[in-house]
Structures are given as structure tokens and as C-alpha cells.
Chains A and B, each alone.
Chain A
Amino acid sequence: MSTTDRLTGRLNNDAVLIVGVVLALYALFVVFGVLIGLDADGIVSTLRRLTFLTAVYALLALALNLQWGYTGLFNIGVAGFMAVGAYTMAMLTAPVDPGAGGVPGLGLPLWVGIVGGMVAAGLVGGLTALPALRLRADYLAIVTLALSEIIRLTYNSTTFQRFSVAGAELGTGGASGIPGPVNPVSTVYYTDPASPASPPTALGGAIFDFFGGFGLENTTVIGWTYTLVLVVFVGLFYFLLTRVGNSPFGRVLKAIREDELVASSLGKNTQWFKIKTFVLGCALMGLAGILWQGSQSLITPALFLPIVTFYVFVALIIGGSGSNTGSVIGGGLFAGLLFLGPTFVGRIVDASFDLGGAPSTFTDAAATLGSLDAAPLLAYSLDRVSTLRFVLLGIVLVYLMQRRPEGLLGYRKEPAAAVDLSRRDAPEGGGGPAATDGGERR
């Protein structure tokens, strides 16, 4: 089997695997939608939300996989680097004159904002890495977690709500946040991208009419368009990081994860490799932050709580740290089964059975248990299903750590090399180098 055959073979298998998982999740959520009694538009927008969350968690898990899965850098400040990316983008692109109560920015074009956001996240990552990567793994974790909170609280602070640098007015908006830029996807649909009330463009009108025929709302169509952009970015991240992994560079990263002293004793400047990897991973997290929270109408500090970092770790652990395909699948399974799933199950039970009004306290809920009536307790639990999600997360993690600590795909042998190592080009024993060595065999 030639090199390309093997590589494309694996890529095809992985593509089939990812598509299979996504289709299975779609099937599940279509069933959920039907059980709840959603109409066509409701089901399609449910699938959109599922795809959106899968994509953003896949992006973040891929970036984290480079740092943690490949290099063993325990970065638990993912949310902080996302915040730097999203905020920098918003501050660079916000209008210079926002009107009353608005947050002023530099009014730069969107692409400058996106590149600026990535660079800023990478720089903050680099600045953290310089001192922190000299420390042992657990200390890096503490430093990054602290940093991510410092970043969030800085954006939350009133001090930076509005400030001026070299005569230019800008601000973070403080706790009330800063508006995200107009989603460029809307330019396809509306003559005035900022206002959905404006008449649709010719192309936009045609697309609206076509999908409207299936009962889809315009907002669902626009939402799906942006979600597809995210899916393209997942593909780009995957491609980039697979290349990084399957190269001599990736090989050194793996060696650092396994035993840093060995790598440096073989002449590798491990500090430099770690810094580069950390900066690249943080820049990608910044971009993921832009694509996710930057696409919301309002970017607030509360979107970047440490829980987001925790979710990304769960996604990566489920998928299998060290595997890019695993990262994407982990993103899907986390978003579908652990994040959205419980709320949908709650809604289905709520829609199928009449449990009566949910009691407001646990004591009330448990009171009827004496008379063997569990309905109030069930209603109480369903009412708080998003809190129960953490219980589910905990159970899944404990089970996984016991039964399959390497995650779904973490066991896979993905040799870090740019070529297929098991293959040899030179003819065996046909003169040249191989022959002399062969001659030494006893």
C-alpha cells in the first residue's frame, strides 16, 4: 500500500466516522423534535443549534488538543484566550461614533478585527508561556486558570468601560458588554445587513423563497448559513492541525509530552517548541472565540466563565486527547448528548406526561414521596434539568476514567511523521547502504 493510499484511507475512514456520528445525532434530535411536537422550522433550527455547538466545541477541542493532547501543556485558561480574541475583534471593529450609550471602537474592517483578535490571543498566550512554561505542568495550569479570570474581570471592570489610547476612544463596555459586529453572512441576504427589516437582496430573496416553501423562517436560513461557515472552519482547523501533528514538529511535541529531558538530550530546544505551540493554540482559541461569541449580538464577560474551559476539556476527554478526529467527535457528542440532550429529554417528558406544576423547593417536592407520589419530585427535577447536567457530566467522566481513560479515539496509533514510516524506498540488499548493514547480520 503506498503512502498516499494509507493516508487517504485513514482520512476517508475518519471522515466517515465524523459524518456518521453527526448523522446519528441528527437522527436523535429529529426524533426529539417530533416527540416534543416541533414543526419543520423548529426541527431544522434545533439541528442548527446542535451543529453550531458541535462546531464551536470541535474548534476549541482541536486547539486544546494541540496544547494538551499533543504537547501535554495543561492549559485551563481556554475561556480567557477566547475572550481576548472576541473582545479584541469587537473593540477594533466597533464604530468610532456609536451614538448615545454605545461603546466606541476603532471602526476598522472586520478582517482586521479577526486577524487582530487572533494575534492578541496569541500574544497573551506567548506572554503567559514565557515565564509559565518553565514551571511544571500543574503550575502552568494554575497560572492559566488565574490568567483567564484576570482577563474576564478586566473586561468586566468599569475602569476600562471607556478609555482612550493616543486620542482614540475605545472601551470594553464593562459588565454590560460590547455589541458584536454585523454578521457578514447577512450581506448575502439583506440590502442593509444591519437591519432584517430591510428588503432582501435578489439572491437572498430567492433563497428565502426556496426554503420558505419547506416552512422555514428567514432567521433559520441565515443561522444555518453562518453555521456552515463554522463547519468550514472546523475543516480548516482539522487540516492545519493534522499537518502540524504529522510532521517532525509534531514529533518533537509528542516527545515533549512523553519525556522532555529525552527531547532536549537529543538536541531539541524544547522551550522554544513549547512556546510556539502555546502561541499557535491560543491564537486558534482566540479565533474560535471570535467565531462563536463574536457572532452574538452582545459580547459580555459572563460568556467567558471558567465553565467553558471545563466543557472543552470534557469534549476532548470524551473524544480522546491526542486525536484530531477524536476532538471533533468529542465536540459533537458533548454538544449533543451532554449539553443539549438533557434539556430535550426534560421537554419531552414535560410534553408527554402531565406532572402538574413544579414545586418551588426540594422539601415540597419530596413531601409527597410518603404517599408514593413521585410526580412532584420528577417535575422539580425536570424544572432544573440544566443543573442536573452537571451530575450527568460527572457520572460520564467518572465512568470514562474508569473504563476508557484514553477516550473514544485516544488509543489510536497516529505516527507523527510526514511520510508513512513503515514503508521503505530503497531496494533491500540491492547495493547501496542497506546491503552493507545486511552483511553484518549473523
Chain B
Amino acid sequence: MSESTEASAAESDTPATEDDAATAAPDTRSAIEGKGPATVGEIDPEAESDVERAARETPPGRPLRVDDLRKEFGGLTAVDGASFDVEEGSLTGLIGPNGAGKSTTFNCITGVHTPTSGSVHLYNEEITGLRPHEIADRGLVRTFQIARELGDMTVLENMLLAPKAQRGEALWRSVLPGARQSVRAQERELRERAWETLEFFEIDHLAEEYAGNLSGGQRKLLEMARALLTDPEVVLLDEPLAGVNPTLEEKLLDRIHELRKQGYTFLLVEHDMDVIMDNCERIIVMHRGRVLADDAPAAIKENEEVIEAYLGANV
């Protein structure tokens, strides 16, 4: 466990160049896969389905892949056969008019909803229908459209909740006198990382404040900082800039770009077209539950269908 903590600590500490990132990311991954809980989803090679074989053959560098995803709520089809993938170390935008199925897609990927059909793969492992905590354990973490800070806990408590495989999460270790020493040692390590991450997001002056007392923008920062402490590979950001003032928005985007360079992969839902066009290398446009277009920003701007469906008079 401590390996992965150290590996990722090293990763987020050094303002890594692109080359570093390419080597650093797989290291972290192997460290995480070597851990206990990952065995839950291990694939028996004999029982491999076509989908799984296809998944294994996809070139690496596509950590997240969604295939023909469908989600129906009663008679309403919120997501209607959406397929897309996300490139490693990229910042990919997901846009679409209200009701296009973006949030439902997010919820299906992260296990909040079980998709009606279709599949989601994370690094060639099928994660369709797993529970949210199992998916987070495998390195895919999300933030929420409306920041869900834990209001009656301090910012530091919020942060320390996130790290995976904490020794003290076992009840007996928290209680037994001998074992508690190791819990305390790990807590000190994690405390240090939490402070560093808070500094990175420049909210360390709020560390001992109750999270419920933070402003809307600060909550968004806290949520992202907290998500990063889980050592994720892929981060899904659901409207991270909604309700954030322009100065803070700039700061948040800077952070996202920096983290992307360090090898994190981001999928971003956002309504502000300028932000999406200026910051994402690739944009996926959803409309009525389907993927309408999937291209570079320049091409998206030219795409007639997209303009008609969504951008309208804005461009």
C-alpha cells in the first residue's frame, strides 16, 4: 500500500515534464493493481467474452472506454447507445444541451446507476455495473455537479477521508493498542499529503474550517483536491466551474492543466463553451442520449449538426 502512496506522492510533487508523466503513470497503476482489493474483478481468461477480448486488444492509452451505453428510466431513454473513449493524459470535454444525457452517462460510468445495456471499460477491465466504491478503488474518481462537501467535517477531515487502503479503516486496528501505532504513522503521512494538496489548490488557509463554511468556488476546489488524494488515474469532473468566479476559474483550469501534464486523465462536463473550446484537446458532443460528434475543437465548431443541435447562434 505504502508503495502506491509514495509513487503518487512523488508524481504530484514534482512539476513533471510530459516525458516523466508517461513513465510515472504506468508505475502508479501497477502499484495499484498489485494491491489486494483489485482481485475482485479479475478476469478468468477461459471465460472471456468477445467484448472483453476486444477490450484487451484496444491499444493502451485509452484508459476509459464506453461502448453502446444505454440507460432507461421507465419509458424515458436518457442515454441511447453512447460510445466514446478517452485518451490517456488528455483533457476531454463532454458537452451537450440540457437533457442530452451527460450526467446520466457520468452516473453510469461511476456506478451510481447501472446501465440498461452496454459496457464501460477502465484500462481493459470491465467496470460496468460495479458499485461506486469498487470503481473508485480501480482508479476512476469523480466530482459532483453540485459540490458535495461533507459540511460538518473540517476541510482536513474531508481530505483525509479520500486516500485508499488506510490501515485504520479496519476497526480492530483503530482500537487495539499495538496496532494503533501503525495507524498513527500512516495518519501522519497522509496528513502531510493532505496539506500539500491543499497548498497546491491554495486553500491551505482554510484547512481547519468546517467544509460547510466554504464558498461555492472553494468547495469545488476542495472536491477536486479530495478526489486527487484517492490516487486516481481518470478523473471525471461534472461542471467543475459552475458558480466559480473568473479568478478562481482561471486557477482551477491551471491546476487541471498541470495535473494533466503529470499524467492524470480528465473527462470534463462543462457548459461554458469558451472554456471547453480553449482548454480541451478533444470534444465529445452528446445530443438526445447519443454521441453526435467526437472531434478536435476546431472541427466541432465547423460541424453543422452540432451547431444546429447545440451551439446555435453562439458561434
Complex CA–CA separation, A263 to B9 (angstroms): 22
Q: Which residues of B contact A247 (CB under 8 A)?
A: 168, 174-175, 180, 183
In angstroms, how far is the closest chain A Cβ from the Cβ of B198? 10
How does the 8 Å CB contact mask read for B146-164 relative to A, with 1 for contact and 0 for none?
0010111110110011101
Is A370 an interface residue when CB atoms closer than 8 A count as contact? no
How does the 8 Å CB contact mask read for B191-209 relative to A, with 1 for contact and 0 for none?
1101110011010000110
Q: A243-B180, A267-B230 are in contact. Are A417 and B157 (CB under 8 A)?
A: yes
Q: Which residues of B contact A251 (CB under 8 A)?
A: 153, 157, 160-161
How does the 8 Å CB contact mask read for A238-273 relative to B, with 1 for contact and 0 for none?
001001100111111011011101111111111001
Complex CA–CA separation, A139 to B191 (angstroms): 37
Contact status A255-B15, CB under 8 Å: no
Contact status B168-A249, CB under 8 Å: yes
Which of A252, A422, A423, A441 is in CB contact (< 8 Å) with B169?
A: A252
Which of A262, A418, A423 is in CB contact (< 8 Å) with B174?
A: A418
In angstroms, how far is the closest chain A Cβ from the Cβ of B242? 18
Is A138 an interface residue when CB atoms closer than 8 A count as contact? no
In angstroms, how far is the closest chain A Cβ from the Cβ of B200? 5
How does the 8 Å CB contact mask read for B174-192 relative to A, with 1 for contact and 0 for none?
1100001001100110011
Contact status B156-A415, CB under 8 Å: yes
Contact status A433-B9, CB under 8 Å: yes
Complex CA–CA separation, A273 to B161 (angstroms): 13
Determine the residue in chain B with the shortest Cβ distance to A436: B13
Complex CA–CA separation, A270 to B133 (angstroms): 8
Is B52 an interface residue when CB atoms closer than 8 A count as contact? no
Complex CA–CA separation, A416 to B154 (angstroms): 9
Q: A254-B157, A416-B153 are in contact. Are A266 and B230 (CB under 8 A)?
A: yes
Complex CA–CA separation, A243 to B174 (angstroms): 7
In angstroms, how far is the closest chain A Cβ from the Cβ of B8? 12
In angstroms, how far is the closest chain A Cβ from the Cβ of B178? 13
Contact status A264-B136, CB under 8 Å: yes
Q: A254-B153, A264-B131, A440-B15 are in contact. Are A249 and B170 (CB under 8 A)?
A: yes
Is B102 an interface residue when CB atoms closer than 8 A count as contact? no
Determine the residue in chain B with the shortest Cβ distance to A243: B175
Which of B15, B137, B210 is in CB contact (< 8 Å) with A436?
A: B15
Is B271 an interface residue when CB atoms closer than 8 A count as contact? no
Contact status A276-B15, CB under 8 Å: no
In chain A between 407 and 423, which residues have their CB closer than 8 angstroms to a CB of chain B?
413, 415-419, 421-423
Is B142 an interface residue when CB atoms closer than 8 A count as contact? yes
Chain B: number of interface residues, binned into ranges: 35 or more
In angstroms, how far is the closest chain A Cβ from the Cβ of B223? 9
Is A298 an interface residue when CB atoms closer than 8 A count as contact? no
Complex CA–CA separation, A252 to B230 (angstroms): 14
Is B112 an interface residue when CB atoms closer than 8 A count as contact? yes
Is B30 an interface residue when CB atoms closer than 8 A count as contact? no
Contact status A249-B171, CB under 8 Å: yes
Contact status A266-B15, CB under 8 Å: no
Contact status A415-B154, CB under 8 Å: yes
In chain A between 201 and 259, which residues have their CB closer than 8 angstroms to a CB of chain B?
240, 243-244, 247-252, 254-255, 257-259
In angstroms, how far is the closest chain A Cβ from the Cβ of B78? 18
Q: Which residues of B contact A441 (CB under 8 A)?
A: 199, 202
Complex CA–CA separation, A28 to B133 (angstroms): 53
Q: Which residues of A contact B227 (CB under 8 A)?
A: 266
Which of A269, A276, A437 is in CB contact (< 8 Å) with B196?
A: A437
Determine the residue in chain A with the shortest Cβ distance to B150: A258
Complex CA–CA separation, A266 to B207 (angstroms): 19
Is A426 an interface residue when CB atoms closer than 8 A count as contact? yes
Q: A421-B191, A438-B199 are in contact. Are A248 and B160 (CB under 8 A)?
A: yes
Is A280 an interface residue when CB atoms closer than 8 A count as contact? yes
Complex CA–CA separation, A424 to B188 (angstroms): 8
Q: A248-B160, A252-B169 are in contact. Are A259 and B141 (CB under 8 A)?
A: no
Is A354 an interface residue when CB atoms closer than 8 A count as contact? no
Is B14 an interface residue when CB atoms closer than 8 A count as contact? yes
Contact status A254-B133, CB under 8 Å: no
Q: Would you give 10 A-B contacts (Cβ < 8 Å), ordered by A?
A: A248-B168, A251-B153, A258-B151, A259-B148, A265-B144, A268-B169, A269-B131, A273-B169, A417-B160, A434-B195
Chain B residues within CB distance 8 Å of chain A? 9, 13-15, 110, 112, 131-133, 136-137, 141-142, 144, 148, 150-154, 156-157, 160-162, 164, 166-171, 174-175, 180, 183-184, 187-188, 191-192, 194-196, 199-200, 202, 207-208, 210, 226-227, 230, 258
Closest 10 CB pairs of A and B: A248-B168, A247-B174, A267-B136, A258-B150, A264-B132, A248-B166, A421-B156, A419-B187, A264-B133, A249-B174
Task: A243-B174, A425-B191 are known; give 20 further A-B pairs, CB within 8 A.
Answer: A244-B174, A244-B175, A247-B183, A248-B174, A250-B174, A255-B150, A263-B161, A266-B230, A268-B169, A413-B154, A415-B154, A418-B174, A418-B180, A418-B184, A419-B187, A419-B188, A437-B196, A437-B199, A439-B15, A440-B258
